Chains A and B, each alone.
Chain A
Amino acid sequence: MYKYSEKDKKIIAGRVKQFRNQVQRRLNGKISEEEFKPLRLMNGLYLQLHAYMLRVAIPYGELSSRQLRKLAEIADKYDRGYGHFTTRQNIQFNWPKLPDVPDILEELSKVEMHAIQTSGNCIRNISADHLAGLTNDEVEDPRPWCEIIRKWSTFHPEFSFLPRKFKIAITGCENDRAAILVHDIGLKLIKKGSRIGFQVFVGGGQGRTPYIAKKINDFLLKKDLLNYLEAILTTYNQLGRRDNIYKARIKILVNQLGVEKFKELVDESFKKLSDKKLELNETTIQKIFKFFELPNIKHCNEKISISSNQKFNNWIKQNTIPHKILGNSIVLISLKSENRPPGDANSMQMYKLANIADKFSFGEIRVTHEQNLVLPHVKNSEIYEVWNELDKLELATPNIDLITDTICCPGMDYCALATARSIPISQQISNFFKDYGDQKKMGNIKIKISGCINACGHHHVGNIGILGLDRNGKEFYQITLGGSSKQDASIGQIVGPSFSSENLIIAIKKILQTYQKNKSSDKDDFMTVFRRIGIEEFKKNLYDNTGKTN
């Protein structure tokens, strides 16, 4: 794992001091809320429906047990005993008090964590494949690249007041688990001959106007990465719209100019403004890569033994993946149990999980963009024990990639922007489809739920997307079908008129019936069937049978 250098420590400590000063000036009335807002946002502090919300970065999703304990401690000391893991590998605390926030940031800095640039119109936390460095299908580990970009983007003097927020994600393999095509910049490590470089995609995003990112560079040399990113950002900072917040993201600029024109401007800026000092040399790159070497994992032939316990067997089938080192497994911990909002973990779970990680997974934990956690290196011989411990904590729900593994935003229960609740919908789904056997029959399927058109719950890229709307004070839900955030990314299509929360489950059931009916083999998952038969077939069965359900 990455370890802070003396310089990192000083920069983070300096930031805490500066934020303390800003909070003091706000509390003394020296700066207005309008002026304070971008300053607090650059430190991850939002003003929500009921209280402030602090968003802490978990860069590229990697956590140590020591860091997880600190998050648990903060949840107990300054919040209401829980935290919420988000779709961008952050954790949110929903109830901190403004005068406490500098203290929270100071405590975080002691375990090499921060909330810098987790919000605001700047370059946000860089996210990555949560299985980075663990699988054989990878060209190269994306985490060191995330760390290189994290440094370059932190307090960038030119890019701290962009037209709008800016998100970068990186994947190291063809099988995209980082949703790079719905990011402002998506980077994919690829191999060309014997050389490794980046494919660069730009202008993806969700929100009100969803777009799939477009490729603007087929093979960027590693040494040029920062100069090229700088060229993209310079172009965007100059030309991105600032007159309308809903048209300010880079996706709008790319689409207004056309991708060819945008690429031309970036290439020109890259040619004219590239700075030798930003070029990455092999020594610097190798130094960062050193931090991400695998711990001392033993290679062996041990297989997971079949148990008489069906619950354990289901969990093994659903929540574990073979590690690239034989005899070990990657354990996915679902934060989608029936009884809690997706992505939530309480302090007791966090403390105990930190202990489990210490005992069985080299003290490492990962956070996925699908709001789950990972124990990256577990010996097959110890996996039953791990399951047993997780089960006691209600952290062994066997539903990874199944219908109840929903992505969900906080919705109207917390968020000031929301137009409908999303957590109760996700809980309805969890309850309705709780039987593992039933879920398994449905195969891999992604349901993603947003409480408003800002799409924090990624509904546009859900195989089934659900968008909460307000209609004359009543909550209604629009369904989209066929979205995907993988390498074959697509934006979901609206199926038709929206549904009341009571009718929503019936509608989902009918959609699933259409899918089941049209499967040509057991291997056909929802997306395969959807792409084969198209939305009309789903519409027909949905509305013909229910009439006007809304």
Chain B
Amino acid sequence: MIILEKQTEKKNLYQRISQDEFSVNKIKTSSMLSLNQFMEAEKRIKSKNLKVGIFLNSDQSLDCLKDKLELFSIIQINFKSFKDGRPFTMAKELRKLHLYNGEVRASGHILPDQFVFLLRCGFDNVEIDGKEKKEWIELYNMDEGLYYQP
């Protein structure tokens, strides 16, 4: 998998931790935690003044995290299906309502045709299969930057 930010491939600085290997003491700034892992580790993250990544699925709500966003350097929202449009609203609310200015990443079942929509709602980059990179860039370049919405 690669990280694509507009046309540029970016290094992935975060690792997810499987439940078997998970231990609160092992958490680093490069950890990408699930919601459950985060809740278990929240105290330590705060006491150590860490900033971590959080990995949410498109059917998980941001509501329980809205007062803790300063603990995250990245929020990754994973589409269960490209048809599930909730992450578009999640990204908008992160940016416009919660004024979150860390990184927001989309992953999971997403289509290159959604790239520009994702960026416009507040996502910074996408995690995709390296084989699809050309297609994603091609569709990104097809966008002429003309929109009806502000």
- Identify the A interface with B (CB < 8 A): 7, 10-11, 14, 17-18, 21-22, 25, 30-31, 35, 38-39, 121, 151-152, 154-163, 234, 237-238, 242, 272-273, 275, 277-278
Contact = CB atoms under 8 A, between A and B. Distances in A.
Contacts of B24: none
Contacts of A31: 111
Nearest to A275: B150
B150 A158 contact: no
B40 interface: no
A159 B88 CA distance: 8
Contacts of B149: 152, 156-157, 278
Per CB-CB distance, the 9 closest pairs between chain A and chain B, nearest first, are A161-B85, A277-B150, A157-B120, A157-B117, A151-B148, A158-B88, A237-B89, A157-B121, A238-B89
18 contacts: A7-B146, A17-B142, A22-B113, A30-B135, A38-B82, A121-B85, A152-B149, A154-B148, A157-B121, A158-B88, A160-B85, A161-B82, A234-B89, A237-B86, A237-B89, A242-B86, A273-B92, A273-B97
Residue from A14, A238, A278 with most neighbouring chain B CB atoms (10 Å): A238
Contact of A21 (B83, B121, B142): B142
A30 B136 CA distance: 13
Contacts of A155: 117, 147-148
B92 A35 contact: no
A278 to B, nearest CB: 6
A271 to B, nearest CB: 11
Given A11-B148, A278-B150, A158 B82 contact: no
A144 B114 CA distance: 30
Given A39-B113, A234-B92, A272-B97, A161 B83 contact: yes
B142 A152 contact: no
Contacts of A121: 83, 85
B150 A14 contact: no
A21 B146 contact: no
A159 B144 CA distance: 20
Interface in B105-150: 111, 113-114, 116-118, 120-121, 135, 138-139, 142-144, 146-150
B84 interface: yes
A161 B150 CA distance: 19
B84 A242 contact: yes
Contacts of A278: 149-150
A158 B142 contact: no
Contacts of B113: 18, 22, 39
Contacts of A18: 113, 139, 142
A289 B50 CA distance: 56
B118 to A, nearest CB: 8
A158 B146 contact: no
B5 interface: no
B96 interface: yes
Contacts of A234: 89, 92-93
A47 to B, nearest CB: 17
A157 B116 CA distance: 8
Given A273-B97, A278-B150, A35 B116 contact: no
